Every structure is written in structure tokens, then in C-alpha cells.
Amino acid sequence: MNRFSKGSLLAGTIMAGAMIATPAYAQDNEEGASEGNVITVTGSRIQQRNVETAAPVAVVAAEEFQLSGTVNVENVVNTLPQVIPGTTSFSNNPGNGTATLNLRGLGTTRTLVLVNGRRWVSFDTAQIVDLNTIPSFLLDSVDVVTGGASAVYGSDALAGVVNFNLKKVEGLEMGGQYSITEEGDGARYQLYGAIGTSFDDGRGNATVFAEYYNRSSVFQGDRPFSNFAIGAETFDDNLQQFGSSTLPNGVIRYFGDGDRTGTDFAANRAVVFDDTPGDFRTRTGDTYNYAPVNYLQIPQERYLLGGYADYEFTDGHTAYTEVTYVNNRVQQELAATPVTGTFNVDLATIQPFLNAAEFAQLQQLDNTETTGTADGVLSLFLQRRTVETGARNSLDERNAFRVLAGVKGGITDNLFYDVYYSYARTRNANVQAGNISRSAFQAGLDGTGTAINIFGPNTLTPAMVAAISIQAQNGDISTQEIASGAISGFLGELTSGAGDVGFAVGAEYRKVASQFIPDTALSSGDVIGFNAGQATEGGYDVKELFAELNVPVFDNGMQRLELSGAARYSDYSLDRVGGVWTYAGGVEFDVIPDIKLRGQYQRAVRAPNVGELFGGLAIGFPGATDPCSQTGAITDAGLNALCVANGVPAASVGSSAIQINAQIPALFGGNPNLGEETSDSWTVGAVLRPSFLPGLTLTADYFNITIEDAITTVGLQTQFDLCFGSSGARNLSDTACLPFVGVRNSAGIIDVNNPPRLGGQNVAEFAVAGVDIELNYSTDVGFSLFGTDGSRLNFNILATYTDESSFIPLVGSPQVDCAGLFAGQCGEPTPEWKWNSRLSWIDGPVTTSIRWRHLGSVTSEDSVLNGGSVDYASFNGIDQISSYDLFDLTFSVEASDNVTITAGINNLFDKLPGTPLFDANGIVTNRPNSLLLGDNQEQANTYPSTYDVLGRDFFISAAFKF
């Protein structure tokens, strides 16, 4: 780990605008590495003699990771203003145990992640990089390039590129860190070591490293704001304790035509079992609180090993290699399995488990039925939370490795080459515990298997649990092969004194392949608990030619003009993609030495990934509201007629019985006929370095990115709106309504055994626009407390104003602009203003640093405040999240030339979602702060990847360098 430099610590902790050169393995305290007197910068393959380009780049220096107490890369990257958090360590449900990067909120698949300027290993069929596989303790810097960069790097770089630069090590570096919350939980600790040396009179260098990291779990029940599931306001009700309709006591719903007169089924066709097993009553709104046993912070254990080396085997020619291996174990945990569905129940089989009066009611229904099953058998819709099996746990163990070998060197003093081959592979084993076998559950009710007692709480015996439980397993394998070669160099000056014209030309071959291997139970759909899925396997390759040109037009000492361009032709083995062009052009103009203007246009593409192309059908349970279950469907004649035509009994239209859970089943799968996505991006900006104020740099860059033919699986709620909405098709023969044809059972409920199918299509459009602003200032202070040479203040602020963050989910449908909004169709909060700033005082061996993280206020996408229909304020709901500020404090001491101790407090003022107070009926009686949300939440009653959920958090680290 880098030792803090007394004179320059944090002078460029986060820098945008003026390009900081960050080549592979940058040396300590250098801003670039070189072939002689040239450098390589992110965003270009051209060897350059200056450190600025037309594309704005934000650079996060290694010190930011140290001062923020960050061990996992995600914790710094996700706080950058350009980033909307993807999946994180707080993503339990939804989540997949990874940490992903979502630049500009355009999606993780549209952000290209590099390490040392080259593609890194992906983890699944979507070909996304898990940031957990990148060693943070070896980071020299992280470069964030906005806008499409396909002309330079190929597919996937629609939103931009994030490049993680690793450093060389000279000598021995080792250290560790320990973090814990103020509540005494969520402990995280890391141990690492790296040793590097030069050999053969400096012709070679080798570095090997190892790391162990462990993160403990925190449950939602460990924090008062997340101990109860809170919601209900989108059902026009009070903000209150909410939960699942599937209870540990068991629920029976009867939709047959038997005579319900005089039975507990008469009121609403539903009964619930009391605490006395075998005794049921009419159901009146009972719910199950599933929240406390869900993870708030998911546990993780990681082993990371690797090394890299280079050797100048002859003058000017160097062979190099990189090897990395990561073993990463991450878990998710959910409440016990909710078994729901229609089952045939043999009355004789279940009679021993029911009281005589309740059994007589079932007999009455059976005796009076005119249609349905045979005598002695009832078709019942059952709901039972199988708490006797324990929580559902999903363990992912990912083993990833990457090897790379290459040769680079100089052909002449002005001509260089670089050729390499890399192979990366990830193997994920997923083991699921707590699942229930649907077929075994059915057999336990119809007399063909071990009889099961689900008619009351804690009625399943160990033998019954064993009979219906099933352990499921998934496997994922993803591979990536790359062969790349480039020649770069200089062609001489266009005009005297302007600088050499630079160029790069080359070719690249990439092959990607992935497969998802579920076990038989999962692929058959027999598993209840975690989502089922079908096997996925596929791959493709691409052959590419690329070229870049950098032309300094003139430089008279006061003014300077430089032009740049790039182009790439890619030939994909995919029929729908085939051959595609990407290209870019940029300009830089120094008006005077204090002012630089710059701009760039880029055309980029993204080919569909293996999962989007070849994914097998998988069932999911997205949160959505069935329009036919809303009271408005009774009076809306067009909607009423459509619901009836769709299979809802006329008497049930507008009844909550049509939707018994907040989640609705849907099928998702691949589409081999997908084409490429395309994007056009513009950046225009200025860099100010006023000579009258030394140490100040101010940059401002406007960005505009538009993506067309975007691949999207239209969300279930969006599909509902497109078909059933007031401006929807409202015609079952229309394309928008076809997914809903034939999916309802006789009661009008969307059937889990025949759900709507929603697949990927090239039908969406995305657009983002805004301004990135950065200010950096460093100045000497005329006194010192701990040193002898005075001290220094460094200040920086990196801010983004998002003017537009819009999407059209289906061409022809209304545009939704999520700038300043959250929830609904927008999901994760997208504030108009977001910034990070840090103020550091470096005084001799002591550094004191304060970080300020700010998110602007956001409004619910479907609230009255935003022109929507939901009036949250009328029933104590939350429709706006106030502006959000976190402050972090860090102290670092160079105890000696070899030892640095760092300690800090994150979330200094312990800002958390508010604590709800409940009355006897579970209704929230106070209005907690706006971070605690009802139905407008992602998980844990808030957005835990955006807003802090751990509270005040302490860390201490020690770094040794010899």
C-alpha cells in the first residue's frame, strides 16, 4: 500500500478534466509510465507525450481508498457522482452476491470495466465484472471515462469506461484493516501482503500478492428501521406494518363452486388457521413479517492470489505476464419458503390434522361442488410459510482466474508495438438450502406421499420437513479469450512546434462463452423458494480492426489546437449483428494557457451478451400491481371489459382477491434474434487553471448520451400499463397484451404454473445528459503542529448535475425522465445533484481529512408531487426523500518511514432511516425521516445501496512497507 506523501497527499485524490496519465502498473508518486518519454492514458491506445485528451476523465487516486477505509472497490466507486449503484454488499433481495458498476445509471452491461487498460474477468452469462475480484490494496488509481468508447475498446462501452490501474511493488508491503459499526456488528477485516523486486540489473520486475477478506452479516432485524416490512400506502391505506399474505399458520382459499353458506369461507373465500392447529377462521388481513431474517449486509469471504512480471529479454523488447485467482464466497438469506399455489387435497389424507367442525366445512364444499375434482378431493389454493425448514440460504462460491501473456517494445524510437493474449474463466457453484419440492408437497396432500400437516403453526414434524425439502444447485461457467495486437507511434510534426502526430493501428479477436447449469429440480420448476431457471449455453466471437489518430495542429506557446479521431470495424459471428462500425472525433483548444476548451463525439455499440441471446426460460416474481385488482377497474368500462375478456370473473373485477401477493410470477428468457445497441455521445467542456491563483484547477464538462435499439426485458408493471393502462392498447390481440393471454386461472389470478412470458427485445431508448464539475485547490499553510516545514491544505469537489436520465421502455410508449426521481419505473434514486468533496490538512506526518458526500432530494415517480396519481401524504406515506449528506472523518499518521496508521469514522453523525412507531394495529403513528420508505423501496424499507444502513462505522488500518 502506498505510503502517504507529506507534500502531495490528496493533491489529486479525485481529478477530472486535466487528464492524469495512468498506465499499467504506474510507479509510486508518478502520474504516468512510459516507453522512454511517452505515456499511455485511459481512453486511447496511442502513446502520448502529454497527459491531456479531448475526453474528460475522473481519476480516483489510491489515497481515497485508504482514507475512506475501503477494502472493497465498490464502496468508493459507487459514491462517485457519475455512478448509480448497481448490486452491492447490501443487495440481498434483489441481489446476486456480486458488486457491479453502473455508470450514469445506464446499466451494468453498458459499462466497460478494465484492469490495466485491458478487459477483466466476468462472472456470469451477462458478461459483467464483479468488482470483488479486483485487489483494492494494489490500486494506483481508477480512471472514469464518460461516453462511448467502443472505437478504442470495442463492445460494451456505451456509458463509458472504468479502468483500474494496479501498481508495481518494490520490496515488501503488508497490512490489514478492521472495521465495525457502532452497534458492534458487521465486522470486516482484511489481511494482505505483496512482495516485488527488480532483477537482472533492472531488466525485470516481478510482484506477487495475496489477500484475505471477511465480512460478517447484519440482519434487517438488527436495525429498528428495517425490523418490520413497512408498506401498504400504494393500496390506498395507511403506512403500516406490512408483510406477506403467506403465513406460518397456513391459509386456504377456495375458488370452486361448492356451497360456502354457513362456512368460514363465505365471507371472502379464505380462511386462516389459528394458533391451535387444525382450527381455522375467516381470514381478516393477517400478514407475516418476513423482514428481520433477511440480510441487511450480506456476508463475504474472499481469497485473492496473483502476480505479474515483466522482463526486457533484449534491448527495447519486454515480455510481460499477469496471473490472478479469486475465490469468493457470498451468501444471501431470505425468510422461510412461502409455498403458494393450487393443490389437489385428498380429504381423507388431511382429516387427522383438522378439527371435526373444520373438516365438516371442507366436506360440505366437496359434496356441493358441481364441477372440479372427484368426490373426496378438493382443489384448494394453499399458502403456507414453511418456517420449520428454517430460512432460505443461497451460497455462491465463485472461482475466477485470469492469465495474460504479451510482448511489447520499440520498433524504432518513434514506433512501438504491443501484442498479448489473455484467457479468463469464472466457475460459480450456487447451493440453495431451505427450498421445498412442489411435487413432494403435493404428494403429501393427495395421499401419494408422506402426509404433511400444514394446518397450523409449527405442525410440520422433522420427518415431514425431510419429505418435502429439497436442496438445489446451480452452476455458471463464463470464459473470455482475447488476442490483441497494436502498433503505435509518431509521424512527425504537422507544423513546427505543435508536437508529433500520434497514431495507433491494430487488430483484436475476442471470444466469449457462458453457460448456466441448473440441476434437474430447478430446471423442471419443482423447486419452491428460489427462482427456477432453464439451462443456458452459448457464445460468439468477434474480429476487429481499429485505428486512432492524434494531430497537434499548432502550438505557439499561448494557444494550442489538437484534433483526434478513432474508428473500429467489428465483425461478429452473430447473424443479427454482423459487421458494425464505431468511431469518434475530438478537439482540444488552449485559448490561453489558463483556459482549455475540449469536445468529443463518439459512436459506440454493444452486442447482446450470452444471457440475453441464449438464456433459458426462468420464472421470476417481480413486484407489480395487477390493474384488474384495483377498484378503478369497476368503473372504468374499457378496463373492466378487458379484464373480463382476459379471464377475470365479472364479479371479481376490482377485487383484491385477484392479486393476493405484491409479487406476480413471470417468465424471462433469452432471444437469439437480438441485434446490437448503438449510442451517440457528446462531451463539451473547459479546463481552467488561473495563473493568478496557483494550485487551482476547475473543470466543467457537459455530457449527452443517447442509446437506441436498447435491449430490455420490459418490466411486468410496464407491460401491464402498456396493455391495461388508460393510454394502453386495451386489445388482447395487440402485441402489448399478448403476454397476458391465457395466463389466469379460473379465479382470475395470474397462474404461477402458466405465467406471462417477457423476453429481451431491441425496443428501448435511453438518454442521459448533465454536467460534471470539479474543483481542485491546494495551498501551503504558514504553520505546522507536527512538522518543521509548514503544512498544506488540499480541497477537491467532484459534482454531477443530471439534467436528464430518461428512457422509453418500448418504442412508441411515453418517455419517463428519472432525473430527480426514484421508485416506480425509475427504481434507484437519481438525484439531480450529487457530489463528493474532501478537505485534507497534511501537517508533517499527520493527515486530517474530512469527506462530504451529498445527494440531492428526489421525488417518487408516481406521486402527486410529480404529476402521478398516488397521494402519499394523505396516509402518512413518503413521496419525497430529502437531500442527504454524510460526513466522514479520517486521521492518518506516518509512525515511521515504514509504518502508516490510519483510523476513521464513516457516517460521523450516524444518519440512518428513521425509526417507526406503531400503534396496536401496526399503523405507523409518526412520520419517520424520509429515508424510511413504504412500498417505494428497494429492500429493507429504503435503498440500501444508495443510503447508508449501517450507521456510524469505525475502521483502523496499518500499512507496512519495507
Q: Which residues pair with 406 in a beta bridge?
A: 320, 420
Tell me the percentage of the chain whose pLDDT exceeds 90: 62
- pLDDT at position 48: 60
- Better-predicted residue by pLDDT, 381 or 615: 381
* pLDDT value for 329: 95
Distances (CA, A) of 732 to 632, 633, 738: 20, 16, 6
> In Å, how far are 179, 423, 624, 670, 748 from 129, measured between CA atoms?
25, 15, 29, 20, 42
User: Using CB atoms within 10 A of its CB, is residue 851 exposed (0-12), middle (13-18) or buried (19+)?
Assistant: buried
Q: What is the pLDDT of residue 149?
A: 83
Q: Is the pLDDT of residue 228 over 60?
A: yes
Indicate the pLDDT class of residue 10, thresholds 50, 70 and 90. Answer: very low
Of 760 and 208, more confident: 208
pLDDT at 362 > cutoff 90? yes
- Strand pairing report for 666-669 and 757-781: parallel
For the ranges 68-72, 195-199, 871-875, the one whose mean pLDDT is highest: 195-199
pLDDT tens for 917-954 read: 999 888 888 888 889 988 788 899 999 999 999 999 99
Q: What is the pLDDT of residue 236?
A: 65
* One-letter amino acid of 511: K
961: pLDDT strictly greater than 70: yes
- Give the pLDDT band of residue 243 (cuts 50, 70, 90): confident
| Separation CA 927–CA 929 (nearest Å) | 7
2, pLDDT greater than 70? no
Task: Write out pLDDT tens, residues 725-757.
Answer: 887 889 999 878 988 999 999 999 998 888 998
What is the DSSP code string of 91-109? --SS--S-----BTTS-GG
Peptide bond into 462 cis (omega under 30): no
What pLDDT digit, counting tens, does each position of 537-574 carry? 899 999 999 999 999 999 988 999 999 999 999 999 99
Euclidean distance between CA atoms 216 and 556, whole angstroms: 60
Question: What's the pLDDT at 79?
Answer: 84
Summary mean pLDDT of the chain: 88
Global pTM? 0.85
Q: What is the pLDDT of residues 258-312, one digit of tens each?
A: 999 999 999 888 999 988 899 999 988 788 999 999 999 999 999 999 999 999 9
Highest mean pLDDT among 276-285, 351-360, 619-628: 351-360
Question: What's the pLDDT at 27?
Answer: 27
Cα–Cα distance for residue pair 202/12, rounded to 1 Å? 30
Euclidean distance between CA atoms 294 and 304, whole angstroms: 28
pLDDT of residue 6 exceeding 50, the answer is: no
Question: What is the identity of the amino acid at 249?
Answer: N
**pLDDT of the residue at 87:** 85
Query: What pLDDT sits at residue 312?
Result: 95
Strands 57-61 and 111-115: unpaired
